Structures are given as C-alpha cells and as structure tokens.
Amino acid sequence: MTRHIVATVDEIAPGTCKIVTVKGREIGVFHINNEFFALINRCPHQGAQLCRGALLSRLESPGPGEYSLTRQGEMLRCPWHCWEFDVRTGQSWCDPDSVHARTFAVEVEPGEKLAKGPFEAETVPVSVEQNYVVITV
Amino acid sequence: MCKIVIPASVRPIDCDVHLAVPNTRALLPYLDDYWREHIIRRGIDGDNLELSAYPPNAPLNCRPDWRPQQGLPGSQFEQLRDHVLEPFQPRFVICNVLHGSQIMFSEDLSAALCRAINNWIAAEWLDRDPRLRASIVVPAHSPELAVAEIERRADDRRFVQVLMLAMTEMPLGRRQHWPIYQAAEHLDLPIGIHAGSSFRHPPSALGWSSYYLEDYVSQAPGFSGVLNSLVTEGVFNKFPRLKVVLIESGVSWLPAHFWRINKTWRGVRSETPWVDRVPSEIIREHVRLTVQPFDDPPDKALVQTILDEIGSDEMLLFSTDYPHWHFEGTDAIPPGLPSDVLTKILADNALATYARLN
C-alpha cells in the first residue's frame, strides 16, 4: 500500500468529485461536508463510472407515506441503474452485504509534512503552504 | 407417471372450495325486511346475480362428474359431502363464495347481499358439518361497510378469512382498502384474494378481451399486479401481521415475478423507501398461494426448481378448488412435489396462516 497525493484541498469544491488515476485505477475523490472520501470509479454491478453519478441524501422511511432524509450528499447513485452506494463504506443500499464498491483511505495533510516524501504517482506538485488530499492505494 | 396420494396419516386442510348460492330467492330469509322487499320489488330475486368471471356453464367451472343434474355446482351440502368431505377426509375445508354481491354498484345493496350470504353460509353450511370454515364475503369497494361486516361476523371463529377479488376498480394495495386490512389484521383474519374481476373496468392492462380464454389466462398477471400493489403501497409495513392468500392464482409465475420486482427495486426503490428490503422477502413472509390450479411444467423434476426459486416451503396451501375442473378422481396433489414439502402443504402451512384454525 502506498500513499498518493491526489489534489489540493481547494481543488475539490464541496459536493464534487475529482477523478484521479492511481496505479491504473480510476478513483473518485469526494469532498462532502468538510470530509473527503475515495471510491473506485467502477460500479460493482456492471462497471459504469460510478463516481460520475449524483450525490444524494440517505433516504429511509418509517412507514408508507413517510420520508426521511439523513446524511445529506453521502449516497452516490450510479448513473446507469441508479443503485445507491454509501460513500463512507462503499456498501450498496440494496444489498449491502454482498454488493459494495471499493473504498480507499483518505487523509488531509499539510504540505510541509508531505514535502518530505517520498510518494508515488502524485498528480499535483506539492508546496509547503497548502493542505493536500492523500489517498492510500 | 407416479401419482401422489395424500398420506393416510395426514388430514389435509382444503383452502379453496366453492359454494354456490343456488339462487337469490335462497337468500331472502337471510335479508332484513327492507332488503328482502327491495329485491322482490325490483324483481331481481329471479336473477342469480352471478359473477361473470365464472359463467356456470363454462367447462372449467365444474368437473363433469361433479356437475349436478339440477342446480348449480356446489350449491348443496350433499354434493360437497360426496365429492370432497368423504374422498379427501379433510380436517378443515375453507369455503369461498364468489357472487355478484361483492361488486354491486350500489354499496348498500352490495353490503346487504354480503350480509345475507354470510348468514346463509353460517346457517346452511357451517352448522351442517364441524369441518367447514368460510371466508367472509364483503363489499370491498365500500371499505366502511366491509369493515362493519367483518366485525359483525368476526365473533364466529368459523369465519377464518376475508375474501376479495384480484382485479377490481382500484389496485388492492391502495390506501382506500386499508381499513379492511386493519380490521383483518386485528381480528386474525388473512385476506384471501381470489381470481376475479368486477368487469366494469378492463380486466387486463390491455383493455377488454374478446374471449373467455383471454380472460381466464389474464388472471395470473392480474395476481402479479396485486403483489406489486400490496408491496409498493406498503400494506405489509403498515400491517405487519397481515397474511394474504392468493386463491386460484397459479404458482409458477411467482419466481419470474420475484426476479423482476427484486431487480427493478434496486434501482427505483427511492420512490417507495418504505420498501426497505428485497420485495421477494416481504412476499415470502406475508403471501401464500393455493395449489389448484398448479401450472406445473411438463418435466416434473422442474417442480423442485420452481420451489427452489420460490425459496420457501411455507407458501403453498393445499386446495381442491372444488368444483372447478383441474384434476380427475382424487388426484388433487400436483405432481412433482417432494414428500417433505407435501406434509407442510397439506396442513402445516394452513395452520400457520389461519390463526383461527388453531
């Protein structure tokens, strides 16, 4: 497992995603409610570019006609068949035990710490003044 | 082909036997004064008010050797005794009356006739033999009056179920029907949904059919629609103890239905978020099906495959569907059912479904 610097914090606006390629894999790095998450950009169902899908709230219901939204923007909906995935765990809503998208550890680190290196497959040049998103793949 | 007989040690529970109101005059003693005179005044006491879903002369609707010389099949106790009670030695028989009373435009007339039929069932049938049980006939399109009739009859525990028809004016899951389900759940009465239509709306999603064949075959997709409606409207969320028995629905369409509803639910479940688990699980928990007619495959070994795909040995209930013509002699058990499942189908599953049989 290697750590990879994939973006500056400012580069990924809240509620959006940057897709990076690390070790030949496309990975979507999300900025949601001041947290960062990384998921493989491939739906486990039929291989669609999962991270191009919409970010939605978690929708549940205590009973018919009752609608409850929680965890705003933390569910990723595949653009092909609308299966929903939890960005924190990669678990699908419909079959969480057996259908899940791979997730990767994400950290935010200051450049002065990272500049010591070495790192692999960095997609952004590092300066000591900024904070960076680092994923482990 | 090896025939399966009912094991001597098992007294089956026949979950679908049809009684026929011999004619509307037979109901006059069971109507109150107003409705008795109403029917005589209108001259409809000479009309049998049958459901057009079951034309009495259609061959399917009575096995030839069960057809009486006079009167309607299933209209006399002696016929039922000779054709069902003696040959099958059932522990219980659940009697279902299909009648125009269930779908009259006038809700009051509908309710009055349903009351009369339920009274007639109790007096002329249930009192004749301790093995007989019955479904409560209700004006389902008038939930308030249907609930009143369910509550009126519920003290008599020989009434074990509420009877509805599969294809009526409104899909059965719609909230309009919920008072009926609430009363049924509260009173330990499963909802029996029988093939049939009220025929003042197209009986299929394609509109009006031209021939009886189309109409009869359309019942199975009709039942599929019933399950869709019950699940998506959230009936089983709202009434978690409710059981539904599909009667005369056929069986082998169910795995295909499971596949389609499960698959589609994954992508569109957000529209009905109360459907919070895979629909086939909900259906397995709440829904039962009677086994006549059993649309069995030509290769009997595939019956096991169908059961595997259904994924439960608790869903099927034995029935003869008397006097409808699905089998000869006493060969009421569909071929290919494995013996371990058969015991459950013959009696255990019915006892688990109908609280009032225990």
CB B358 within 8 A of CB B14: no
Helices of type H across B172-218: 178-186, 212-217
pLDDT at B137 over 80: yes
Cα atoms found within 13 Å of the Cα of residue B70, Cβ hemisphere only: 1
Q: Is the dihedral of CA B4, B9, B11, B15 positive or negative?
A: negative
Which pLDDT tens digit goes with each residue over B77-92?
999 999 999 999 999 9
The secondary structure of residue B200, as a DSSP letter, is: S
Instruction: Determine whether the interchain pair B278/A66 forms a contact, defined as Cβ–Cβ distance below 8 Å.
Output: no
Q: What integer pLDDT is reported at residue B204 of this predicted model?
A: 80
How many structural domains compose chain A?
1
Residues B186-198, mean pLDDT to the nearest whole number: 96
Is B273 a member of any domain? yes
Is B330 a member of any domain? yes
How many structural domains compose chain B?
1
Q: Which of B254, B245, B246 is nearest to B303 (CA)?
A: B254
SS (H, E, C) A6-71: EEEHHHCCCCEEEEEEECCEEEEEEEECCEEEEEECCCCCCCCCHHHCEEEEEEECCCCCCCEEEE
Residue A118: is it exposed, middle or buried by C-beta count within 10 angstroms (0-12/13-18/19+)? exposed
Domain interval for residue A30: 3-136
User: In this structure, what is the dihedral angle of CA atoms B118, B123, B127, B129, given to the nearest 10 degrees?
Assistant: -70
- For residue B87, count other CB atoms closer than 10 A to its CB: 14
Name the residue in chain A with its Cα closest to that of B268: A82
The secondary structure of residue A100, as a DSSP letter, is: B
Task: Look at strands A68-77 and A103-110 and give their pairing.
Answer: unpaired
For an interface test with B, the pick among A56, A61, A99 (most B C-beta atoms closer than 10 Å) comes out as A61
Q: What integer pLDDT is reported at residue B4 of this predicted model?
A: 63
CA distance readout (Å), A57 to A33, A78, A94: 12, 14, 15
- The Cα of B275 is separated from the nearest Cα of chain A by a number of Å equal to 8
Find the CATH number of the domain harbouring B85.
3.20.20.140
Which chain B residues have a beta carbon less than 8 Å from that of A46?
Answer: none
Which pLDDT tens digit goes with each residue over B316-352?
999 999 999 999 999 999 888 988 899 999 999 999 9
- The Cα of B239 is separated from the nearest Cα of chain A by a number of Å equal to 10
Say how far apart CA B201 and CA B208 lie, in whole Å.
8
Helices of type H across chain B: 33-42, 77-80, 86-88, 107-121, 143-153, 178-186, 212-217, 219-232, 235-238, 254-268, 279-286, 301-310, 339-343, 349-353
Say how far apart CA A60 and CA B69 lie, in whole Å.
60
CA angle, A67 then A69 then A73, to 5°:
145
Which pLDDT tens digit goes with each residue over B248-285?
999 999 999 999 999 999 999 999 999 999 999 999 99
Average pLDDT, chain B: 94
Say how far apart CA B45 and CA B42 lie, in whole Å.
8
Name the residue in chain B with its Cα closest to that of A57: B270
Say how far apart CA B338 and CA B351 lie, in whole Å.
20
Residues B220-238, mean pLDDT to the nearest whole number: 96
Q: What integer pLDDT is reported at residue B1 of this predicted model?
A: 43
CB B72 within 8 A of CB B97: no
Q: What integer pLDDT is reported at residue B3 of this predicted model?
A: 60
**Residue A3: which H helix or E strand, with range?**
strand A3-8
The secondary structure of residue A132, as a DSSP letter, is: E
For A66, the token pair is: 């009752």
Q: pTM of this prediction? A: 0.94
Q: What integer pLDDT is reported at residue B55 of this predicted model?
A: 77
- The Cα of B270 is separated from the nearest Cα of chain A by a number of Å equal to 7
Instruction: Determine whether the interchain pair A66/B270 forms a contact, defined as Cβ–Cβ distance below 8 Å.
Output: no
Which chain B residues have a beta carbon less than 8 Å from that of A64?
Answer: 175, 233-235, 237-238, 274
Phi, psi values for residue B351, rounded to 5°: -65, -35
For A5, residues 6+ apart whose C-beta sits below 8 A from its C-beta are A114, A119, A122, A123, A124, A126, A132, A133, A134
Say how far apart CA B150 and CA B114 lie, in whole Å.
10
Domain interval for residue B278: 13-353
Q: Which of A102, A98, A124 is nearest to A111 (CA)?
A: A124
Q: Which of B282, B283, B352, B285 is nearest to B317 (CA)?
A: B352
Helix (H, G, I), strand (E, B) or coil at B104: coil
- The Cα of A61 is separated from the nearest Cα of chain B by a number of Å equal to 5
pLDDT at B187 over 60: yes
- The Cα of A103 is separated from the nearest Cα of chain B by a number of Å equal to 21
Q: CB contact, 8 Å: A19 with chain B? A: no
**Residue B172 amino acid letter:** L
Q: CB contact, 8 Å: A54 with chain B? A: no
Q: What integer pLDDT is reported at residue B216 of this predicted model?
A: 85
Full DSSP string of B15-78: EEEEE----GGGGGGGS-HHHHHHHHHHTGGGS----TTS-TTSGGGS-GGG--SSS-TT-SHH
CB A13 within 8 A of CB A73: no
**Residue B32 amino acid letter:** D
Instruction: Determine whether the interchain pair B238/A60 forms a contact, defined as Cβ–Cβ distance below 8 Å.
Output: no
Helix (H, G, I), strand (E, B) or coil at A108: strand
Which pLDDT tens digit goes with each residue over A47-63?
999 999 999 999 999 99
Which pLDDT tens digit goes with each residue over A24-36?
999 999 999 999 9
For A93, the token pair is: 């809503």
Say how far apart CA B170 and CA B174 lie, in whole Å.
7
Chain CA centroid to CA B99, Å: 12
Average pLDDT, chain A: 94
Q: Is the dihedral of CA B226, B227, B229, B234 positive or negative?
A: positive
pLDDT at B58 over 90: no
Is B8 a member of any domain? no
Residues A103-109, mean pLDDT to the nearest whole number: 97
Find the CATH number of the domain harbouring A76.
2.102.10.10
Q: CB contact, 8 Å: A84 with chain B? A: yes
Name the residue in chain B with its Cα closest to that of A67: B273
